[in-house]
Chains A and B, each alone.
Chain A
Amino acid sequence: MSLRAHIALAILVTLAIIGIVVLVRRRHLKAKYSLLWLSLGAVMVVIAAVPGLLDWTAERLGIWYQPTLLILLGLALLLLIVVHFSYELTRSENRTRELAEQLALLRLRVTELQQQIDADDNETGSDSPSA
């Protein structure tokens, strides 16, 4: 890759990392999720900072057009992040279901208890519930 491409990559990745960090600091992004993004950024920073690294690795792997390796790496990490999201989404959905079910059961219980209280009040006569 040319020097100019390295500089461009370095600037883009630095901006992206700053963006992620800002989101985490503002609590718009949980640290848990930022880790994967930051590690993606870290890989890119290393590639941008060490000019010979990408070309050297690509050659070892038999990749003739070196930037392909960059795309491949990015894609692999993105895939990882997306699978992680599916995992988290499933977990989150399971918890939501659990909450919905518990809510339905509790709602009935509350209604029943309220009815019981009202019935008890009627039994004790005209005592007003204000105490």
Chain B
Amino acid sequence: MHDRADNQEKVLVIIPAFNEHETLPSTLAELQRTVPDFDVVVVDDGSKDDTADLAEANGAICLRLPFNLGIGGALRTGFRFAVERGYGRAIQFDADGQHDASQISAILAPLDNGADMVIGSRFAGVGDYHVGRSRGVAMGILRWSIQHLAGQKFTDTSSGFRSFDADMLAMFATDYPIEYMDSAEALVLACRAGFDVREVPVTMRERAGGQASNRSFRLVYHYLRVLVSLANTPRRTRAPKAATS
């Protein structure tokens, strides 16, 4: 039933979800329509509402965390699941309706050409996505420090629309940043470990529901936190790539 070999060619969509009652069903329906043969796992990050039940009712596999771990912990659980079941590829997808399932093929494509991780960028040309000014400035500073640390330029470091190959999943299953803004830290971690990280332009929608975690006071706190952890991202060496390439 869960033969690891069967999953080698399959793609797993990982959706971290925390209180996504409003938008989860439509997101799952959209995925069902667009990529019907992908497996979908919803990682319920200790939601207070019926997110987990909704996930199962709408045909997704659901991993229920006993309490809220934050997005980093939810994602790591998803990566672990992917590795445990032997999926060859995975996609990180938001529950809030921000991501457009029709763009999935675009972020999967570079994996065929040797990329280990692909980031869907809102700012790399396609689509029009707007952020507020203070958020824009903060993201600019973050972008600059990441470019410095990763040794590579990225236009959208906080995008949660990503794809991973098996090697990347194997690393993230044990070693995924648990602090807030995990997405930026994960980038640095992957680049420094010698993984091939690329960016492709995607369009995104405005959030359909739920609440963005950007109340200014908390944002500053998390922002400082991520700068501290970024500055301390260890340099790891990548395990030799498996012979299947």
Spell out A's residues near B (CB within 8 Å).
Answer: 97, 100-101, 103-105, 107-108, 112, 116
| 7 A-B contacts (beta carbon < 8 Å) | A97-B69, A104-B64, A104-B77, A105-B80, A105-B81, A108-B64, A112-B1
- Decide: B66 and A97 in contact? CB cutoff 8 A: no
Give the Cβ gap from A120 to chain B, nearest Cβ, in Å: 11
A-B contacts besides A105-B81, A108-B64, 14 pairs, CB < 8 Å: A97-B73, A100-B65, A100-B67, A100-B73, A101-B76, A101-B80, A104-B43, A104-B64, A105-B80, A108-B61, A108-B62, A112-B1, A112-B2, A116-B1
- Decide: A97 and B178 in contact? CB cutoff 8 A: yes
Contact of B65 among A104, A112, A116 (CB under 8 A): A104
Q: Inside 8 A of B67's CB, which chain A residues have their CB?
A: 100
CB within 8 Å: A-B pair count: 37
Give the Cβ gap from B56 to chain A, nearest Cβ, in Å: 9
- Decide: A104 and B1 in contact? CB cutoff 8 A: no
Interface size in chain B (residues, C-beta < 8 A):
18
Given that A97-B178, A116-B1 are contacting pairs, would A105 and B69 also be in contact in the complex, using a CB cutoff of 8 Å? no
Please classify the interface of chain A as helix (H, G, I), strand (E, B), loop, or mixed, using the class held by over half of its residues. Answer: helix
- Decide: B73 and A105 in contact? CB cutoff 8 A: no
Given that A97-B73, A97-B178, A116-B1 are contacting pairs, would A103 and B66 also be in contact in the complex, using a CB cutoff of 8 Å? yes
- Decide: B66 and A100 in contact? CB cutoff 8 A: yes
CA distance A122 to B199 in the complex (A): 50
Q: Inside 8 A of A100's CB, which chain B residues have their CB?
A: 65-67, 69, 73
- Of chain A, the residue at the smallest CB distance from B73 is A97
Q: Inside 8 A of B50's CB, which chain A residues have their CB?
A: none
The list of the 4 closest CB pairs from A to B, nearest first, reads A104-B63, A101-B77, A104-B65, A100-B66
CA distance A100 to B84 in the complex (A): 16
- Of chain A, the residue at the smallest CB distance from B178 is A97
CA distance A97 to B69 in the complex (A): 7
Q: Inside 8 A of A108's CB, which chain B residues have their CB?
A: 61-64, 81
Q: Inside 8 A of A107's CB, which chain B residues have their CB?
A: 63-64
Give the Cβ gap from A92 to chain B, nearest Cβ, in Å: 14
B1-37: which have CB < 8 Å to A? 1-2
CA distance A105 to B77 in the complex (A): 8
- Of chain B, the residue at the smallest CB distance from A116 is B1
Produce 1/0 per residue, B187-211, CB < 8 A to A.
0000000000000000000000000
Q: Inside 8 A of B65's CB, which chain A residues have their CB?
A: 100-101, 103-104
CA distance A97 to B77 in the complex (A): 10
Given that A97-B178, A116-B1 are contacting pairs, would A104 and B66 also be in contact in the complex, using a CB cutoff of 8 Å? yes
- Of chain A, the residue at the smallest CB distance from B63 is A104
Give the Cβ gap from A74 to chain B, nearest Cβ, in Å: 29
